[in-house]
Structure 1
Amino acid sequence: MKNFFIINKVAGTKQGEQIVKEQVEKLSSEQKAGNEFIFRVTSRPKEATEIAKSICDTYQNEEVNVFACGGDGTCFEVINGLIGSKNVNFGIIPVGSCNDFLKTFPNRPFLKISEQIKAHPIVIDLIKVDDEYSLNVANFGFDAKSNYDQIKYRKVFKSIKKAYNFALLKNILSPKLGDKVEIKVDDKLVFDGKSLLINVANAKYYGGGFKCAPYADCQDNLLEFMVVKKVSPITFLKMVKYYKKGEHLDNPKFINILKYCRGKKIQIRGKNDKEIVGCLDGETRIKKEFNVEIISNAINFILPDVEINKYQ
């Protein structure tokens, strides 16, 4: 089996290339038997998509493994190059600053290549947003704006966490907080008003650990949709702790400010011809309208077995 490692060398602590190559070198001869290991290191944005497409074009008649080595952004680029290739198994080596998708699968040894190469793939869904594909969560509004802003503040704070916290504070206190939107789920109007944030989820977590979609299942052929109405900064600060823990959907405090449902197709349109800020697995997109749909059984995902703690 050919195993391709598409490595974002500047992701996370910038040690991803070293980590991946050292692990492969340490594999036993038995573990290496029948396997070939090929490394592709990116040097610019969107190159991971190009590399993934090239692998798919070259090995159309052969089963291969392709591992995205980086964070959520690297995974986003790789799956957009693999889409449509049923002979390819997609895996993740989490050496980036944030790997929220993997939080849906706790206690799995994603960092151990020895476990990854012997794992069996499962077939999972993807989110299609216009002409791009998202693995984890597509979000719109306040939190998407905060994600966009934190990129600008990283150079100032020298820390992603500090930059993101500052961006959150800046946006929640903004007099322009909220977007006037019209939202349809499966062609039915479900929201028409001013929203604070909107999530369309395939998996459970985003934003570095916020459990936005506690009931999400990336194999159920459905999107998890949620919109939160615009609220005051004080109300937001009181509620955000429940949202982070994934306790918002069944919490009576959210009854009057939250709309939740499942569906296969979602249209989000800015009213009065206004643009909306969107975020696809951390990648910013700004448009007047977003069309989102579930792509069922879209990709083979390499899922290592649950790791058992021998000391338990």
Structure 2
Amino acid sequence: MRHLFILNPSAGKNGQAAQALMEEIRRLPLDTAVRLTQKRGDAERIAREESAAGDPLRIYACGGDGTLNDVVNAAAGLDHVAVTNVPVGTGNDFLKLFGPQARQRFRDLTALSAGREVLFDVMDCNGRLGLDIVCAGVDARVAADVHRFKHIPMVRGIGAYILALLDNVLFRGINRPMRVETPEGLWYEGETAILCICNGRHYGGGFMPVPDAMPDDGVLDMLLVPKVGRLTFLRLVGAYGKGEYRRYPQYIQAYHGQSVTFSAQEELVAVVDGEVMRAHAFTLCLSPKKLRFFFPEGLDYAPNPGTPSL
């Protein structure tokens, strides 16, 4: 079996993390290959090229959630390809599914390369696939705006996120008109603060809106927050981020299903595992494709351990 590492050569401070990782890869007693990315979309292109031969392949997306998302879009539905994520220099919200030791354990290439495989559900949002969470409210607009603040001197990472949050909540407005429907009977039309659809559990660098969401149960967990004022939003955002939505049914509506559509006359922003999309209408559903995902022994992603391996 081949082990393909797709890596951004500039990952980490001055590319130091990427260099250290390449040294570790060279020491592995495996049939390994390294392909370097140069621009957006390269990881998906490389994964498609390398998967085309049809031979058994394990792909290591070395980077953050965006790199993983690219590889997922290339490998989902392929029986001969399994995918994982090696955290290098950026945020890795999806890996938090595996617990507080996930980042450290997924950096152990020896343990990771010997890990077991499971089948995960995959979401399809207007043709873009995702593993983790799709958001389409003020949280999505915040995520889309973070880049505007990263260029300010002395502002990086969480600082840019906080500025984007304050800008949207205090000045641009929390709520937007939206129509939301599901085949299971949800029909809502009106001002909307948050729409969050979960296959995984974490997004936004620290939010866990549905702590018992499972990426392999064939169900999407959805939270809808209709119009709220600034004070209510600021009071609730901490509880929302900790997954305490059941305490506030008067503000946070919970639904479960396999698909949802949302639309508006004004262009909407949706974020799929960190990838920003813009459209007037979105259809999101569980894809018929599954993703083979592998992870180190000793970790578990289930609230109740014991999910069988393939």
Is the structural similarity TM-score above 0.5? yes
Q: Where does residue 147 of structure 2 map in the other structure?
A: 151
Is 1:215–2:215 an aligned residue pair? no
Provide the residue aligned with 2:80 in structure 1.
87
Equivalent in 248, 253, 256 of residue 250 of structure 2: 256
Counterparts of residues 112-127 of structure 1 (less than 5 Å): 112-127=108-123
Question: Alpha-carbon deviation of 1:2?
Answer: 0.6
TM-score, L = length of structure 1:
0.90
1:198 to 1:120, Cα distance in 2 relative to 1, 3 A: same
Structure 1, gaps ≥5 residues long: none
- Counterpart residue number, 2:23: 22
Secondary structure, aligned partner of 1:235: helix
Aligned to 1:7: 7
Matched with 2:237 is 240
Shift of 1:207: 0.3
The separation in 2 between residues aligned to 1:162 and 1:240, in whole angstroms, is: 18
Q: How far, CA to CA, are the matches of 1:131 and 1:194 in structure 2?
A: 26
What aligned pairs does 1:52-131 form with structure 2 within 5 A after superposition? 52-57=47-52, 59-60=53-54, 62-106=55-99, 107-108=101-102, 109-131=105-127
Among 200, 221, 225, the alignment partner of 2:222 is 225
In 1: Cα distance, 2:235 partner to 2:221 partner: 24
Q: Which residue of 1 aligns with 2:262?
A: 268
Match for residue 280 of structure 1 among 259, 272, 276: 272
For residue 214 of structure 1, give the secondary structure of its aligned residue in structure 2: coil
Any unmatched runs of 5+ in structure 2? 301-310
- Where 1:173 maps in the other structure, the secondary structure is helix
Aligned length: 295
| Structure 1 residue 74: Cα displacement | 0.7
Contact 2:174 2:230 in 1 (8 A): no
CA RMSD of aligned residues (A): 1.7
Q: Which amino acid aligns with 1:221?
A: G
Q: Secondary structure of the equivalent of 2:141?
A: helix
On the 8 A contact 2:76/2:289 being kept in 1, the answer is: no
Q: Secondary structure at the match of 2:208?
A: coil
3-state SS, counterpart of residue 293 of structure 2: strand
**Judging changes above 3 Å, is the alpha-carbon distance between structure 1 residues 45 and 234 closer, same or farther for their aligned structure 2 residues?**
same
CA distance in 2, matches of 1:306, 1:194: 45
| CA positional deviation for 1:259 | 1.3
Corresponding letter in the other structure for 1:51: I
1:298 matched to which residue of 2? 290
* 1:204 aligned onto 2:196: no
CA displacement 1:219-253 (0-9 Å, x = unmatched): 101111111112111111111111122122x21xx
Scaled by the length of structure 2, what TM-score is found? 0.90
